[in-house]
Chains A and B, each alone.
Chain A
Amino acid sequence: MQTDKDSPEHWVDEHGSALYRYALIRLRDEHKAEELVQETFLAALQARERFAGGSSMRTWLIGILKHKILDQFRHEAREVVLDNPEPGGDDYDGLVEESFLADGHWSAMISDWGNPEEALEKGQFWAILQYCLDRLPKRLARLFMLRELLEEGTEDICKDLAITPTNVWTMLYRARLGLRQCLDKNWVGEARGS
């Protein structure tokens, strides 16, 4: 059912910040996030008759925004191929080598993070996860966001970014190694008081 609150003059007040946060955490760019929020509202205006009211207005708007973000990533991925990306290529390139000795053992001990349930209940964990996500190299971040925060499957990501599955897995592996290391340094280190 369409309530008065759902009418376009209330959209920005009701949903603006929620959409902005959704976009910002994925795009990591304030301007782009604002831009896509605006585009989402404009697209929603045109498609308004198609909002059946089966789901909430918020869910419907986020669905539109999600598509805008996917388009943005596809677009960027094509651009990056053209100007052949980040010279020096910081995709955490050296990270796998650094993490292991020549014989394949870990080069440093993996520390115990304790009870994971407790971790997720602490506000601090989320702040540091955000900090670490913000520090992912750009190409890795895009791929990682597609996979983990937009929940795309490998097949779709391969199509979106025009890379092979093996490539996707390698990059996700690096992103995870990097995030783990960052969390370990900033969160667990902190918790231990070191």
Chain B
Amino acid sequence: MKMLTCKDASRLVSEAQERRLGFRERWGLRLHLWICDNCRRFERQIRLLRRALRTLARRAETDTQGPDLSPAAQDRIRKAVAERDGHSH
């Protein structure tokens, strides 16, 4: 089996988050990560990124940090809702 380059390996690290790698790909990657410090660190970082984004994706429902809807926008939206709500009664 031809050895993977770091370029090949890094792409597989990313694709492993998207699809199930084939048998050869999986073993090629495992072998490469075993001998390559850079790619091993890269893989950890890409996994950390995924974990961080998952956390971020779920945060909206409870989180109170970050920018608020501006008072002007709140007014505007409140009016639009009241108006539409009035019509439906």
Contact = CB atoms under 8 A, between A and B. Distances in A.
B82 interface: yes
Interface residues of B, number: 50
Q: Which of B5, B39, B73, B88 has the most CB of A within 10 A?
A: B73
B67 interface: yes
Interface in B39-89: 39, 41-42, 44-57, 60-61, 63-64, 66-70, 73-74, 76-78, 80-82, 84-85, 88
A169 B15 contact: yes
A110 B61 contact: no
Contacts of B46: 176, 180
> Which secondary structure characterizes the binding site on chain B?
helix
18 contacts: A9-B78, A9-B82, A17-B67, A18-B63, A25-B56, A34-B77, A37-B73, A38-B76, A46-B88, A62-B61, A105-B6, A110-B39, A113-B44, A119-B48, A120-B48, A120-B52, A149-B57, A176-B14
